[in-house]
């Protein structure tokens, strides 16, 4: 036969798009529309329904950026439609290609009850399954005019990302607001044609494909294009044999779960996410009511909490759907957090706050961690997941890798401590599946465990406020349940999928170490103020808990449970994977910085109250150590008289510059403010490579191929400007005995001032930097070329450190040209090491150069960027950093130096010194000292082994306690602890182990 495939497929596609789909709502009558455009921020629904409404003419532009317009729709169902399904069709000006990125609406009845959302892929509202005729229609639409920022030409700079700078011009024009007959048979025909058309495109040229094509031709021959509703049944009958052929016995199994990945902020502010969640969940509960087997899953306790607080009428429907087992809380975290930059303690609180919410509200503890979209995954996570009681981990983002294809889809992920968690990546490579033929075929074709396992997960639905799963997707799933040539699709709880996958893969492949995303590397640097606020707030939260616990147990000061919970939740929200990474609009980051300031202020108040209760009144000069490392003679979390810092640092003014020297190190600073030598006096080793200079600021051109705020591409290194020019330099020794060199520079449109300081008895040359940054598409780094033959860098991560090789033997290693750190990164060779410590930096890179056998290992901290999308003013203005060069470093000393740089001593005047409530010896580090979340008054202590070696730690509680137990991260007791003779507790810790302990005070 002749090749007529293009003729058939072209015919089917045109008829479907231009005739069948328009005929689904072919008979319609316009509704009367009235409106009220709000002058300011959104208002509660009850107020919206009570507004004064003025007549509105269809086609009138509406909605300046970020505004809200309330529409009232009224009319009558024609009497002749009796017995028919009747729906309202409302096109507010939608672009169907932009679900989630433009205007959206939530529909209410006149009594204030929510119906469902309106969005580009979901423009209908049910009026009656079987109309009686002459029903009155009265609906209200809260319409949000969110501007399209990620347009057909994405990443263009725009000022629409902040209500303070956005245009007041209307963005949308209504096209259709009708009451219409829903032609069910036409709708079903459309799905029949679409499923078969997409399926045949993925099949080889063989009998199955040819018969589908013939069935399509037969169906279209049976369809009268002028009488589609009347002939749709005949067309469907022609397609029925092709749709009834069963799938192969070995067909891939897809476990579908309704999904609507909603970023808690991104190209919209947090306040809009509150409404996006309400809109989506109203539609999903409505779809649950209209179907028998559809399951919808939603993560993020924060998003549930928003609905409960702001849309109680929607919350009631969610609670009912959860109880029915159709609406599935997933993930067990407060938000879908970034997992690379938050501290270990913050990740613990993501789990504890999330699980507590789900247990209290639904009596459910999710079994898995659901993180489809975060930008890489810390190797500390497997241990934290397991110790929080999670059994599985789900993500998708690693499929975005630029270079290397991840080798597994279902596997064990092993962390730095050896903990393993059963993990799955969907081979569809999407968390917004439409169940298209291409996606379903891709899942079958790409699944890397096909030899032994039978299936994969598909999160199905439009994300980011696009409305989630649609009735069309549900219809596709029904047709793909058992269809020849396709994978089998069914709605299934992820728990059931993971149970089956474990049985099929009793010995799954193992991936060891971080899940590094070969993309979005610049998220470690963008929006520095947001990252700085996060670091400061994390440390203050832990400090506040320590002092408040001590004050509660020793003085009876009330423990501020509610205030600390609320502050933690604010910080946890801002760790969402598009806020902390710096990839949201200006509005989001403006609010984040303000929130951090408020959080810090309130925490400082809590700390002052607790410290005052502890030290009492008096005039004794004291210093409180807020850190988990000794501060001179002051123990961690102790309060004592300040010790003598030692002899003042010697400062010599030479022809070449300045020499700063104490009893431990000698540092030479050139007249250009560059570090030319940094000698460990005990060994004579110079940390700086011969002929090189450290503390060298470098400015790169930074214009990635796409994803401006997210990405830095390798070619940025090809163009670099060394910043050497000095406007002024001076030096001196202060009354505190600290030697300081102050350097001021100008470059391009910016200025920078650095203060290089060396304190008595310190191995760290500290650099405090203030940059008045006014660059565009530039990347600022600071370089330290080190005379260390290092095979690895060792960068702090949550509750430990991770090694990365310094060479680029493989494509996997070469792809890691920008990597993450927390408070330090260390390079060492046997007998000597050097570390960089910092107070607000998360990104660094490593270069290795060899000349005549001499190896120079250069570490460069990433300081500032200037992308223009989505925030054209990213990082503009004054930015501050503190970082330091630790000379003669070990992993233990780098850990302590990083801790101390992030938590300054607190000078006090009071009546008494105070011993630490909890002390630990033997190489372990305290992470948290707090009272238990259950309000029992029990003391919870968390510690960890930071160096990757076995350790025996001795822990003491300076209070009468009983009932000592090890516990889960959720503070549930596991096993009793034996008390040593002196009342301490001996703990055997494995490498990088995190241990949580719980104690009941004798007196409550």
Cβ atoms 623, 640 nearer than 8 A: yes
**768: cis peptide before it, omega within 30°?**
no
At 584, list the tokens: 């949201």
- Dihedral of CA atoms 369, 373, 378, 380 in degrees, nearest 10, equals -10
Nearest partner of 619 among 644, 635, 641, judged by Cα: 641
DSSP 504-570: H-SS--EEES-B--SS-GGGGTSSHHHHHHHHHHHHHHHHHHHHHHHHHHHH-PPP-HHHHHHHHHH
Tokens 């979390």 correspond to: 637
How far is it, in rounded angstroms, from Cα 900 to Cα 925?
13
- 229 burial type by CB count under 10 A (0-12 exposed, 13-18 middle, 19+ buried): middle
How far is it, in rounded angstroms, from Cα 864 to Cα 651?
31
How far is it, in rounded angstroms, from Cα 857 to Cα 860?
10
β-bridge pairing 296-298 and 696-701: unpaired
Nearest partner of 100 among 277, 330, 296, 310, judged by Cα: 277
The conformation of residue 399, written as its DSSP 8-state character, comes to G
Beta bridge partners of 124: 89
Beta bridge partners of 908: 622
Residues 6+ apart with CB under 8 A from 307: 277, 278, 281, 314, 315, 318
Beta bridge partners of 783: 696, 860
How far is it, in rounded angstroms, from Cα 441 to Cα 287?
26
β-bridge pairing 410-414 and 510-512: parallel
At 842, list the tokens: 């998360």
**Residue 295 CB neighbours (<10 A):** 23
- Is residue 708 annotated as a catalytic residue, yes or no? no
Nearest partner of 999 among 916, 918, 921, judged by Cα: 918
At 951, list the tokens: 């350790």
**Residue 494 CB neighbours (<10 A):** 24
* Strands across the sheet containing 854-865: 720-723, 696-701, 778-786, 854-865, 843-851, 819-820
At 595, list the tokens: 């929130």
The conformation of residue 406, written as its DSSP 8-state character, comes to P
How far is it, in rounded angstroms, from Cα 933 to Cα 348?
13
- 905: helix, coil or strand? coil
From the list 373, 482, 499, 722, the catalytic residue is: 373
CA atoms within 13 A on the CB side of 529: 22
Element (H, E) at 30: strand 28-30
φ/ψ of 782, rounded to 5, equals -130, 130
β-bridge pairing 657-661 and 665-670: antiparallel
At 410, list the tokens: 């279902």
- 389: helix, coil or strand? coil
Nearest partner of 891 among 954, 797, 805, judged by Cα: 797
Residues 6+ apart with CB under 8 A from 627: 636, 637, 899, 900, 902, 903
Tokens 């005019």 correspond to: 145
How far is it, in rounded angstroms, from Cα 517 to Cα 400?
7
485: left (phi over 0), alpha (psi -120 to 50) or beta: left
Q: What residues are labeled active site?
A: 373
């Amino acid at each position: 036969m002749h090749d007529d495939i293009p003729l058939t497929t072209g015919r089917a596609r045109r008829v479907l798009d231009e005739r069948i789909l328009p005929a689904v709502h072919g008979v319609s009558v316009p509704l009367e529309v009235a409106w009220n455009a709000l002058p300011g921020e959104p208002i509660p629904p009850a107020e919206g329904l009570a507004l004064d409404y003025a007549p509105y003419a269809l086609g009138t532009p509406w909605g300046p950026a970020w505004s809200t317009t309330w529409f009232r729709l009224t009319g009558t169902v024609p009497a002749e439609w009796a017995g028919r399904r009747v729906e309202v069709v409302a096109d507010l000006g939608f672009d169907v290609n932009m679900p989630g990125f433009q205007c959206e609406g939530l529909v209410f009845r006149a009594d204030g009850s929510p119906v469902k959302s309106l969005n580009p892929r979901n423009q209908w509202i049910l009026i009656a399954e079987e109309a009686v005729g002459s029903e009155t229609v009265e609906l209200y639409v809260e319409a949000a005019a969110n501007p399209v920022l990620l347009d057909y030409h994405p990443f263009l700079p725009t000022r629409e990302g902040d209500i303070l700078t956005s245009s007041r011009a209307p963005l949308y024009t209504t096209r259709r607001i009708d009451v219409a007959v829903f032609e069910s048979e036409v709708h079903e025909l459309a799905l029949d044609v679409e499923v078969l058309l997409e399926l045949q495109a993925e099949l080889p040229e063989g009998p199955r494909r040819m018969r589908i094509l013939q069935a399509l031709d037969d169906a279209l021959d049976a369809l009268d294009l002028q009488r589609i509703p009347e002939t749709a049944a005949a067309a469907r009958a022609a397609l029925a044999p092709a749709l009834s052929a069963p799938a192969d016995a070995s067909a891939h199994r897809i476990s579908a779960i309704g999904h609507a990945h909603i970023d808690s902020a991104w190209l919209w502010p947090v306040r809009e996410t509150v409404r996006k969640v309400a809109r989506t969940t109203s539609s999903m509960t409505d779809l649950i009511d209209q179907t028998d087997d559809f399951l919808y899953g939603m993560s993020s306790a924060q998003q549930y909490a928003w609905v409960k607080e702001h849309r109680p009428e929607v919350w009631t429907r969610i609670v009912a759907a959860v109880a029915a087992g159709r609406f599935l809380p997933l993930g067990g975290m407060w938000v879908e957090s970034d997992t690379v930059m938050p501290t270990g303690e913050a990740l613990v609180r993501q789990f504890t706050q999330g699980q507590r919410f789900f247990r209290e509200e639904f009596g459910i503890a999710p079994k898995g961690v659901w993180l489809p979209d975060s930008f890489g995954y810390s190797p500390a996570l497997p241990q934290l997941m397991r110790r929080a009681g999670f059994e599985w981990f789900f993500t998708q983002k690693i499929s975005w890798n630029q270079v290397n294809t991840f080798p597994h889809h279902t596997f064990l992920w092993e962390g730095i401590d050896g903990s393993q968690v059963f993990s799955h990546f969907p081979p569809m490579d999407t968390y917004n599946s439409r169940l298209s033929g291409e996606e379903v075929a891709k899942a079958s074709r790409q699944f890397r465990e096909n030899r032994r396992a039978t299936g994969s997960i598909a999160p199905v639905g439009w994300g980011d406020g696009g409305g989630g799963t649609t009735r069309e997707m549900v219809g596709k799933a029904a047709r793909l349940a058992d269809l020849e040539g396709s994978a089998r699709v069914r709605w299934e709880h992820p728990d059931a999928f993971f149970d089956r996958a474990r049985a099929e893969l009793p010995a799954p492949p193992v991936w060891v170490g971080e899940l590094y995303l070969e993309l979005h590397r610049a998220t470690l640097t963008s929006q520095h103020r947001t990252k700085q606020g996060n670091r400061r707030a994390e440390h203050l939260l832990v400090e506040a808990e320590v002092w408040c616990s001590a004050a509660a147990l020793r003085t009876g000061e009330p423990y501020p449970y509610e205030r600390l919970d609320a502050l933690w939740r604010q910080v946890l929200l801002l760790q969402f994977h598009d806020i902390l990474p710096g990839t949201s609009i200006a509005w989001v980051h403006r609010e984040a910085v303000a929130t951090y300031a408020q959080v810090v202020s309130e925490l400082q108040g809590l700390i002052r109250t607790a410290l005052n209760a502890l030290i009492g009144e008096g005039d004794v000069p004291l210093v409180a150590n807020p850190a988990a490392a000794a501060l001179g003679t002051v123990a961690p979390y102790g309060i004592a008289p300040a010790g003598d810092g030692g002899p003042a640092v010697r400062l010599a003014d030479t022809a070449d510059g300045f020499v700063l020297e104490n009893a431990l190190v000698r540092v030479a600073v050139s007249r250009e403010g560059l570090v030319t030598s940094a000698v460990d006096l005990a060994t004579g080793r110079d940390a700086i490579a011969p002929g090189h200079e450290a503390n060298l600021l470098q400015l790169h051109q930074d214009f990635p191929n796409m994803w401006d705020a997210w990405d830095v591409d390798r070619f940025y290194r090809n163009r670099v400007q060394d910043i050497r020019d000095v406007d002024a330099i001076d030096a001196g020794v202060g009354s505190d005995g600290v030697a300081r060199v102050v350097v001021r520079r100008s470059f391009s449109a910016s200025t920078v001032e650095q203060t290089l300081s060396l304190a008595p008895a310190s191995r760290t040359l500290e650099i405090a930097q203030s940059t008045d940054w006014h660059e565009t598409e530039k990347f600022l780094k600071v370089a330290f070329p080190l005379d260390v033959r290092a095979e690895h860098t060792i960068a702090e991560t949550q509750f430990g450190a991770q090694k990365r090789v310094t060479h680029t033997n493989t494509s996997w290693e070469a792809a890691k040209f920008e990597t993450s750190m927390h408070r330090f990164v260390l390079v060492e060779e046997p007998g000597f090491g050097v570390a960089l410590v910092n107070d607000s930096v998360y990104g660094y890179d490593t270069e290795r150069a060899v000349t005549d056998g001499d190896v120079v290992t250069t570490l460069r901290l990433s300081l500032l960027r200037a992308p223009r999308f989505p925030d054209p003013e990213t990082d503009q203005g004054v930015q501050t950093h503190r970082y330091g060069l630790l000379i003669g470093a070990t992993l233990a000393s780098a850990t302590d130096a990083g801790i101390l740089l992030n938590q300054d001593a607190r000078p006090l005047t009071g009546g008494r010194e105070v011993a630490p409530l909890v002390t630990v010896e033997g190489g372990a580090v305290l992470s948290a000292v707090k009272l238990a979340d259950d309000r029992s008054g029990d003391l919870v202590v968390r510690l960890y082994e930071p160096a990757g070696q076995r350790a025996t730690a001795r822990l003491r509680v300076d209070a009468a306690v009983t009932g000592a137990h090890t516990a889960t991260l959720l503070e549930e007791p596991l096993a009793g602890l034996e008390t040593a003779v002196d009342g301490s507790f001996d703990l055997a810790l494995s490498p990088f182990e995190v241990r949580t302990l719980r104690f009941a005070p004798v007196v409550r």
